[in-house]
Amino acid sequence: MENKPFALLIKDHEKVKDLIQRLLQTSASGKSQRRELLGTLKGELELHEKLEEQLLYPPLEHKKATRDLTLEAYEEHHVVDMLLDELEALDFDDQAWKAKLTVLQENLEHHIAEEEQGLFPKAQETLSAQQLERIEREIADAKKAPDPKR
């Protein structure tokens, strides 16, 4: 199924999964690599969450068909943010670091599956073509805008 309005978000999902795989392949001695990759991952997730929470979720939390999934998605973002903060606070060579990263991966994979297999298809059925086009355009515009943090 072509999920055109959500293609950029799905592309983000693939990028995030790749970053986590790269992080999992690092060793405790690769502290600078872990720091850099985690910073990249956090930046990608912050923008992705912001776009979903500002553009996609608000119209969906008021629709019966998508309300529960949307409210759960907000909470899953919160858990991901907490795990990212905990990973940043841990020493990059701490033996618990990779275990916490694995928990982050599992949470993200669950969230991504729910969005791609549940929320996005239901949003496509629930929202009007005009709403979907506006959301797609606003996401694309936000992704083209320069990031002031970079």
* CATH number for the domain running over 4-144: 1.20.120.520
The pLDDT, as a whole number, for residue 55 is 96
Q: Give the domain ranges of the chain.
A: 4-144
Is it the case that residue 5 has pLDDT exceeding 80?
Answer: no
pLDDT at residue 148 in the model:
52
**pLDDT(26) > 90:** yes
Percent of the chain with pLDDT over 70: 94
Q: For position 3, what pLDDT does the model report?
A: 56
Q: What does pTM read for this prediction?
A: 0.91
Question: What was the pLDDT predicted at 134?
Answer: 95
pLDDT band at 47 (very low <50, low <70, confident <90, very high): very high
The average pLDDT across 78-85 equals: 97
pLDDT of res. 150: 42
Average pLDDT of every residue of the chain: 93
Calpha distance 48→99 (Å, rounded): 24
DSSP labels, the chain: ---GGGHHHHHHHHHHHHHHHHHHT--TT-HHHHHHHHHHHHHHHHHHHHHIIIIIHHHHTTSTTTHHHHHHHHHHHHHHHHHHHHHHHS-TT-THHHHHHHHHHHHHHHHHHHIIIIIHHHHHHHS-HHHHHHHHHHHHHHHHSPPTT-
- Split at pLDDT 50, 70, 90, the class of 147 is low
Residue 149's pLDDT is: 53
